[in-house]
């Protein structure tokens, strides 16, 4: 006689295995919310951009309100420290993907928000948390220093 398929065999022939099946069911119930949370996190992360976004005056408010933490870099291509900080921000955007969103506002073309926030030096990084301005970083800063400031605004 051909032996039954392993699952059926275990189910039909072993009380021990039946218990295991039940415990798997229980575990599955416990894991469900964890799985759901992980899935939600994954989907959220995918929604976050991995590179700094180009922000215009027209979509500034909507962008800083869209994500929990947004760092906006006011810059100009004629400014050497702005060019220095750009690759650092790109690295941070990758490393903090899913937690912090980075954006860039070019002060040559986008004046309205630069004026509103009184940008007198570039680069200036404005840190928004839940749409509210929480921190200002002026001038080129190395990655470690930026990370230290940003850590205060990240929910770990």
Partner 1 sequence: MDVRKFLKKENIVAVVGVTTNPEKWGYKVYKTLRESFPRVYPVNPKYESVLGDRCYRNLESLPEKPDVVITVVPPGVTENVVKSCRELGIGMVWMQPGSESRKAIEFCGRNGIECMHSACFVVDALKKRFV
113: nearest Cα among 52, 85, 68, 72: 72
Q: Which residue stretch of 21-29, 49-57, 96-104, 116-124 sits at the interface with partner 1 (rule: CB under 8 A)?
A: 116-124
Q: Kind and range of the H or E element at 13?
A: helix 6-13
Residue 107 makes contact with partner 1 by CB under 8 A: yes
Residue 82 makes contact with partner 1 by CB under 8 A: yes
Q: Which is nearer to partner 1, 70 or 82 (CB)?
A: 82
Residues found in the chain: 156
Task: Find the binder of partner 1 among 78, 133, 134, 152 (CB under 8 A).
Answer: 78
Nearest distance in Å: CB 56, partner 1: 16
Residue 115 makes contact with partner 1 by CB under 8 A: yes
Q: Which of 56, 66, 68, 79 is catalytic?
A: 79
Q: Which is nearer to partner 1, 42 or 115 (CB)?
A: 115
Torsion sign (Cα): 75, 78, 81, 85: positive
Residue 53 makes contact with partner 1 by CB under 8 A: no
SS3 assignment, position 96 = coil
Residue 10, judged by CB atoms within 10 A of its CB (0-12, 13-18, 19+), counts as middle
Q: Which is nearer to partner 1, 115 or 133 (CB)?
A: 115
- Residue 71 in contact with residue 126, Cβ under 8 Å? yes
Task: Find the binder of partner 1 among 120, 132, 155, 156 (CB under 8 A).
Answer: 120
Residue 81, judged by CB atoms within 10 A of its CB (0-12, 13-18, 19+), counts as middle
Residues making contact with partner 1 (CB under 8 A): 76, 78-82, 107-108, 111, 114-115, 118-124, 138-141
């Amino acid at each position: 006689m051909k032996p039954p398929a392993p699952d059926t065999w275990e189910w039909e022939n072993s009380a021990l295995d039946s218990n295991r099946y039940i415990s798997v069911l229980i575990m599955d119930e416990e894991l469900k919310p964890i799985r759901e949370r992980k899935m939600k996190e994954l989907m959220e992360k995918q929604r976050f951009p991995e590179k700094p976004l180009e922000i215009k005056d027209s979509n500034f408010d909507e962008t800083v309100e869209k994500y929990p933490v947004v760092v906006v870099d006011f810059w100009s291509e004629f400014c050497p420290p702005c060019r220095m900080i750009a690759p650092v921000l790109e690295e941070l955007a990758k490393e903090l993907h899913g937690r912090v969103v980075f954006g860039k506002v070019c002060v040559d073309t986008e004046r309205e928000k630069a004026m509103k926030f009184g940008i007198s030096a570039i680069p200036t990084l404005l840190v928004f948390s839940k749409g509210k301005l929480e921190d200002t970083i002026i001038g080129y800063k190395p990655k470690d220093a930026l990370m230290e400031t940003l850590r205060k605004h990240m929910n770990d």
